[in-house]
Structure 1
Amino acid sequence: MGYRRYWHAPGPRTVFMESLLVSTLVVAIAEIGDKTQLLAIILATRFKKPIPIIMGILVATLANHALAATAGYWVADFLSGAWFRWAIAVSFIAMAAWALIPDKADDEEGDAAGRYGVFLTTTIAFFLVEMGDKTQIATVALGAKFQSIALVAAGTTLGMMLANVPAVYLGEAATKVVPLKYVRIGAAVIFLALGVWGIAEASGLLK
């Protein structure tokens, strides 16, 4: 019973779809212009081997976001209550402001590549760079909100891949299709909407 609790949708089909789709959308938009996407461009430009880079991103993101969703799940499980719902809502609003701040890839990540092979270099670099990143913190908040480790981790990982696979194949051109300024504004609007939604729930307006 405990296993089912962790790895299956906590409610009906609508909750299943909401958990997966919201997680995917939030991270896919927030990831555009993020430092991990810029890292993907650096690695793609340097190694010109898209498949091992993409596999490295996938493995690193699955590991990182599974841990983040688990942390969110347990925090919500032990700290349930109206005040905690308010804290989650406020965290989304804070991320809305954070999303407006441009990220820059650290040149050290790109320079360190090549010692351990493309796949392993990408996996290690992405896992470390994602620590404390806005998309990881969003995954923690989503895990707390939706109480589903598998769906949130799957959704946020899918969002990361939707943003980073084109970046790997198209390089810098992928981030010039839409100006990053407007992408960051879009991400901020989504985070803000989730925060307002959470406040409405905590206030009892959506009963």
Structure 2
Amino acid sequence: MEAFLVSTGIVALAEIGDKTQLLALFLAARWRRPWPIILGIFTATIVNHALAGAVGAWLTQVIGPDALRWILGVSFIAMAAWMLVPDKLDEADTGRLRLGVFGTTVVAFFLAEMGDKTQVATVALVAQFQAYYAVVAGTTLGMLIANVPAVLLGDKLAHRLPVRLVHGIAALIFACLGLAALFGLF
């Protein structure tokens, strides 16, 4: 349960102001059809995070526990620093695809998540907790917690959230996880 809750919370916080949340706002404003967009976000996220989780599970099999502890500790601290760098929506992420609302959302979200903070966090969290299903379910739920309101409420919500504060809290959580991993507290 801890792996699920930590994964959900970290990703929900990390996703606020992220380029995929900006992408959700863009898609909602462009098509004004929230349910295919939400379903597309869910589909892309579950596939992307399932693959990332598989990488995390594989890492626990090929790297010894001491090396893994150091790699995870440094990775979480690096993600804390990365959280403090604001994201911007690239034009390439919003290109015109002829796949309809659902298909465009799936492709755009899947590609936007490649190498993104939440994908890297999923790899690290699966390696840390060694709980593939709980982490993938948690990171997917965290993405939905952050992005569904963005789709449903659009631009009104985005301007009212203290994004810097939320990113600071997420960075603090990542830093604490990194230190806990380095000191063997997990």
The two structures have a TM-score, normalised by structure 1, of: 0.87
Q: CA deviation at 1:173?
A: 1.9
The residue matched to 2:161 in structure 1 has which SS? coil
Larger CA Rg, structure 1 vs 2: 1
Where in structure 2 are the equivalents of 1:78-93 lying within 5 Å? Answer: 78-93=62-77
The correspondence for 1:136, drawn from 114, 119, 125, is: 119
2:109 alignment counterpart: 126
Deviation at 1:165, TM superposition (A): 0.2
Bigger Cα displacement from structure 2, 80-89 vs 30-39: 80-89
Counterpart of 1:39 in structure 2 is: 23
Q: Secondary structure at the match of 1:177?
A: coil
Instruction: Tell me the secondary structure at the aligned position of residue 132 of structure 1.
Output: coil
The CA deviation string for residues 97-148 of structure 1, in whole angstroms up to 9 with x for no partner, is 00000000112332424x1100000000000110000100000000101112
State the 1:199 CA deviation: 1.3
Q: Which residue matches 1:24?
A: 8
Q: Give the Å deviation of 1:77.
A: 1.6
1:184 Cα offset (Å) = 1.1
Residue by residue, what CA displacement relative to the aligned partner does 1:80-99 show, whole Å, maximum 9, x if unpaired? 22122111011000000000
Residue matched to 2:80:
96
Once the two structures are TM-superposed, the CA of residue 75 in structure 1 deviates from its matched residue by 0.5
- Describe the SS at the equivalent of 1:121: helix
Indicate the residue corresponding to 1:8 in structure 2: none
The percentage of counterpart residues that share the same residue type is: 55
Structure 2: where are the runs of 5+ without partners? none
1:59-92 Cα offsets, whole Å, 9 max, x none, are 0000000000110011012212212211101100
One-letter amino acid of the counterpart of residue 22, structure 1: V
Give the alignment's Cα RMSD to 1 decimal: 1.2
- Aligned equivalents of 2:101 and 2:35: distance in 1? 9
Structure-to-structure mapping, 1:95-174, within 5 angstroms: 95-113=79-97, 115-174=98-157
Q: Cα offset for 1:19?
A: 0.6
- Aligned partners of 2:8, 2:100: CA distance in 1, in Å? 29
Structure 1 runs, 4 residues or longer, greater than 4 Å off: none
Decide whether the 8 Å contact of 2:76 with 2:174 is kept in 1: yes
Paired positions, count? 186
